[in-house]
Amino acid sequence: MKTWIAVVNRTEARLFETHTLDGKDMKLVTKLENPRGRLRSRDINADKPGISTSSRVSYPTGYTNNVDPVEHVAQVFAKSISEFLEKGRTDHLFDDLVLVGEPHFLGSIKGTLSKQTFNLVTRTLSKDLVNIPDHRMHEYLF
């Protein structure tokens, strides 16, 4: 039986693999990074064109974007992680899935998983362990 352990937050995801219940053979499969996850709201949209002040007439668009830019970047990253996990499931690369992450982002990941992949989740841990070195991760998980 092969288990994947996804340790995630809005800036990084590390996927580990183990074949044992105690995880002593745990090894890093891959690392996904989201450098935009470190940005603040004002910095995310900094490269967009500004508003021209040459026109004094304002026209309502009927559309207001109420999604925080930081949250949007996190949601996009959560979706890319879930797509990676989905591909791993369809390629039969794991039998069980463990999700570890800070609570809010963990909810985003769960919300983007397909039903089939979500059914393989055997355990979740609401802790942000992304900054733990790979060689010490076993101590925190098992």
Query: What domains are defined for the chain?
Result: 3-12+19-40+67-141 (3.30.420)
Residues 105 and 99: their CA atoms lie apart, in Å, by 11
Confidence of residue 21 (pLDDT cuts 50, 70, 90): confident
- What is the per-residue pLDDT for 36? 64
- What is the per-residue pLDDT for 27? 96
Whether pLDDT at 28 is above 60? yes
Give the mean pLDDT of the chain. Answer: 84
Question: Which of 53-57, 128-132, 138-142 has the least mean pLDDT?
Answer: 53-57
Phi, psi of 70 (to 5 degrees): -65, -40
- What is the per-residue pLDDT for 52? 44
In the chain, which ranges are continuous DSSP H helix? 41-44, 69-90, 103-112, 115-118, 137-141
Q: Is the pTM of this model over 0.95?
A: no
Tokens 């990084």 correspond to 12
